[in-house]
Amino acid sequence: DAGITQSPRHKVTETGTPVTLRCHQTENHRYMYWYRQDPGHGLRLIHYSYGVKDTDKGEVSDGYSVSRSKTEDFLLTLESATSSQTSVYFCAIEDGSYEQYFGPGTRLTVT
Amino acid sequence: DQQVKQNSPSLSVQEGRISILNCDYTNSMFDYFLWYKKYPAEGPTFLISISSIKDKNEDGRFTVFLNKSAKHLSLHIVPSQPGDSAVYFCAASAIRGKLIFGQGTELSVKP
């Protein structure tokens, strides 16, 4: 298994609060990604990173920001959580082969 | 606009028989295609991929076929086993790192 962990694994938060999800890898891969999974939509790309301090937006980036200050950590922040951001969030890493390897996911509930 | 579609939400197959999962796409710029398997409460795991320069790729019991003229790919699992029961996602890429996923097909393999 790829060395990729996510924390927390579960979180319940209230509307309007900021939330930060963490993705940590031990593989030293350059590429990292954040997705959300919702019924009927598969997985949708939120943000991605091609290296330290090098990030870009995906298809559903509104309301989210990311930071990557170290190769091993990629943080996803919900600036002001809304109920529409209730979802399962997956981080993925890639070694340059086009094949992405996913973490175990974080289930986020916004009440 | 869904660029990658899996039109069958579910599929049920008898153990030992062939499972065929289908995926259609609309963007002719996609040049790399992947299949992922997902068990409940886990992250997706990479199964098999194919480049647009090929029309077939095999890995053990798994074979992916690509028909570029029809913009269609399929995953064949032979023989199917109960442990193959999971949700299968197809994904496509036109720009490196940006995977577009289908909605998923839930495969149930009955003993």
CATH number, domain of B54, equals: 2.60.40.10
Residue A1, pLDDT > 60, answer no
- Separation between Cα atoms, residue A60 and residue A76, nearest integer Å: 13
Q: A109 pLDDT band (50/70/90 cuts)?
A: very high
| A4-110: CATH number | 2.60.40.10
A29: amino acid identity, one letter: H
Instruction: Please give the pLDDT value at position A33.
Output: 97
The residue in chain A having the minimum alpha-carbon distance to the alpha carbon of residue B90 is A42
pLDDT of B36: 97
Per-10-residue mean pLDDT of chain B, 111 residues long, equals: 91 98 96 96 95 96 97 98 97 89 96 92
Q: Give chain B's domain count.
A: 1
pLDDT score of A102: 96
Q: Where exactly are the structural domains of chain A? A: 4-110
| Per-residue pLDDT, A97 | 81
Give the A:B interface size as CB pairs under 8 Å.
53
Mutation target to probe the B interface, by most B beta carbons within 10 A, among A5, A43, A55, A102 is A43
| Span A31-55, average pLDDT | 94
Domain that holds residue B18: 4-110
To the nearest whole angstrom, how far is the Cα of B97 from the nearest Cα of chain A?
6
Q: Considering only CB atoms, which chain A residues are within 8 Å of B99?
A: 33, 43, 45, 100
pLDDT of residue A2: 60
- Alpha carbon separation from B62 to B19, B59, B77 (Å, rounded): 10, 5, 5
Measure A30 CA to nearest chain B CA, in Å: 11
